[in-house]
Structure formats: structure tokens, C-alpha cells
A = this chain, B = another copy of it.
Amino acid sequence: MLLGSVEAGGTKFVCAVGDENYRVIETVAFKTTTPEETLGQTVAFFKRFKDLKAIGIGSFGPIEVRKSAPEYGCITKTPKKHWAHVNFVEYIKSHINVPIYWTTDVNGSAYGEYILSKQENEKLESIVYFTVGTGVGAGTIIDGKFLGSLGHAEAGHIRVKRHPKDMSFSGICPYHEDCLEGLVSGPTFEARLGKSGREVPFTNPVWGYMAYYIAQAVLDYTLTIRPNQIVFGGGVISETFLDMIRKEFADLLNDYVDVPDLKEYLRMPRAEDNGSATIGDFALATKALENEAVEKL
């Protein structure tokens, strides 16, 4: 059985076809340009696989994920040129008529990590995937379902307590200035220091401020949702930086509630090479197939 995955990012798209064991058979990546061109390339790739049974799409957003909403399947009010109100699902479906699972990029990654944890017999009841890259976001799965009644999470835009030595930086979020994303996303390095994060050594205090802010978001999740595990992804995250986050988190929590060993509780992805999303999208494609089978009964 062939399954499709679309990891639809604001910078690039990664499309893949895999088998029922979620093994990648072929993959392709291209830049995100106009919807016509980019969705056209997506369709052209999948058209080559005659036996494709379903597609899982994890998209940049905000997107409409509620099936009852008129805009279901659309990217909604993104500031990204050309892409606001594009009906992504309808476009794909009009060219490749297979069941489609539609969710956010972080939800796709969260689902991949959830599936891999099950394969490793970890049986997590709940898992959060937290990404810090060009943007900041999180996807949460509880008992196999995505969290969110009014839509998907937008965890990047919560507020955090400012670090006493970092009061002057005003933040770069166009909507909220110093929300979490405005303080810790990849582009903040350029705004703070005039260079990319890769050029900034971990001894620079900015990494410490960022660890403090991200640790507060992790604390929020820990105290409100009480998930079994939080997995980190995105270009800003590394083992070294995650260790700084763990330390700040331990200080903030101050043993108030019990959590597992922090090396296990706050962890790097199980999937190598950022592969969580592709595995998750394949698994969600299977889910779309099952859902359609149930609807036809």
C-alpha cells in the first residue's frame, strides 16, 4: 500500500511516498513559491504513483482544521503572500482523489513521535511536539487525538516573564512584539545580534535568556496539560541548548510536581533527520483511509 506525505513549510515543501510500514520509497523537496506552482509540483509528484491510497498533509498556518468550518482545508490568514485563504485540500483532492488527512506541520511531527513511541512500546498517553525554528509552535496528542476544540494550537504566542537582564529587547512578533515567538524564534538572533544563530556561541547570554523563556513554555505545558513527554524540534534546538532548557525548567518547577527524569521528559526526536513529520503524515494518511471506510459504512 502506498501512502503520501506533504510537509508543507513556509520556506519549502517536502513530499514523500512510503509503504504501510512508513518506510520512505521516494521523496522530493522544492521551494514554496506561489500556490499554483507549489501545489502543482505536489500534485505532479504524487500523480506518478498510481496506487497511492491516501495522503497526510502537515501544513504551515494558521489553517482551518475543523471539519464543520466553511474554510476547512484552507490556509487562513497567513501574512505569507499569495497563500491566505488558499484551499489546499480541495486543490489536491481535485487532482488526486484519495482520502486526505489535514493538520498542522507540528501536529504531523507530534503524530510521528507518538507512533514511534508506540512502536518502541512506550505507550505514551500524551505527547507534545514543541518546535523552535523560523516560528515557534506545538502540537499535542492525547489518547491518539489532537488537542484543540476551537482549532489548532498557536503556542508560539503565549507571554512569558522577561529575564531581568533582557528587558531592553522589544521582540519581533508583528502581532505581539515580545510573545514567546517574538523572543526566541530563529530570526531573533539577527534582530538581537545582527547575525545568524549558527554564528553565536552558547556562551553568549542570549542563549541563556532564550532557554529561560522556552523553559517557561514547557512549564506551562507541564502544569496545565501534564503530558507524558515533550519532544523538541526545529532549527534552533540542539542537545546542548536542550540541556540549558532542562536546567532552567528544573529551577522554575522547583520540584512542585513530579515529572520523569528530564533527559526522558524533555527529549530530542526519535526520528532521525527531522523525519517525525513524514512518519506522522504517513500514519495520518492511514487514519484518513480508515475514517473514510467508517463513513462509508
Q: Which residues does A use to contact B, with CB under 8 Å?
A: 62, 124-126, 138, 140, 142-143, 145, 147-155, 157-162, 175-176, 178, 216, 219-228, 252, 254, 256-260
Q: Are B224 and A221 in contact (CB under 8 A)?
A: yes
Copies in the complex: 2
Q: Helix, strand, loop or mixed for chain A's interface? A: loop
User: What is the chain B residue whose CB lies nearest that of A159?
Assistant: B161
**Known A149-B142, A176-B252: A220·B158 in contact at CB below 8 Å:** yes
Q: Can you sample 20 A-B contacts with CB below 8 Å? A: A147-B225, A149-B226, A149-B227, A150-B227, A150-B259, A153-B223, A153-B225, A154-B223, A154-B256, A155-B223, A157-B223, A158-B216, A158-B220, A158-B223, A158-B224, A159-B219, A160-B161, A161-B161, A224-B224, A225-B225
Q: How far is the CA of A155 from the CA of B225 in the complex (A)?
A: 9
Residues of B within 8 A of A175 (CB): 254, 256
- Contact A159 B162, CB 8 Å, known A126-B149, A142-B142: no
Q: Write the nearest CB–CB distance from A59 to chain B, whole angstroms.
A: 16
In the bound complex, residues from chain B placing their C-beta under 8 Å from that of A142 are: 142, 147, 149
A161 to chain B, nearest CB (A): 4
Report the bound CA distance from A161 to B225 in whole Å: 20
In the complex, the 10 A-B pairs of residues with the closest C-beta atoms, listed nearest first? A148-B226, A150-B226, A159-B161, A126-B149, A125-B149, A154-B223, A149-B228, A159-B216, A158-B220, A155-B224
CB distance from A87 to the nearest CB of B (A): 18
Known A-B contacts A159-B160, A256-B175; the reply to A150 vs B228 at CB < 8 A is yes
What chain B residues lie within 8 Å of A158 (beta carbons)? 216, 219-220, 223-224
B contact residues around A220 at 8 Å (CB): 158, 220, 224
Bound state CA distance, A220 and B221, in angstroms? Answer: 9
Which of A142, A162, A224, A254 has most B Cβ within 10 Å? A224
Assess the A148–B258 pair: CB atoms within 8 A. Answer: no
Contacts of A225 in B (CB 8 A): 147-148, 153, 224-225
Interfacial chain B residues near A140, Cβ < 8 Å: 224
Give bound CA distance, A283 to B151, whole Å. Answer: 29
> Of the candidates B150, B176, B257, B258, which one forms a contact with A256 in the assembled complex, judged by CB atoms under 8 Å apart?
B176
**Given A149-B125, A159-B160, A252-B159 in contact, is the A138-B224 Cβ separation under 8 Å?**
yes
- Alpha-carbon distance A144/B186, docked complex (angstroms): 39
Residue pair A224, B153 in contact (C-beta under 8 Å): yes
Give min CB distance, A125 to chain B, whole Å.
4
CB-CB under 8 A from A160, the residues of chain B are 159-161
Q: Do A153 and B226 contact each other (CB < 8 Å), given the known contacts A142-B147, A158-B219?
A: yes
Residues of B within 8 A of A258 (CB): 150-151
A142 to B159 CA separation, bound complex (whole angstroms):
24
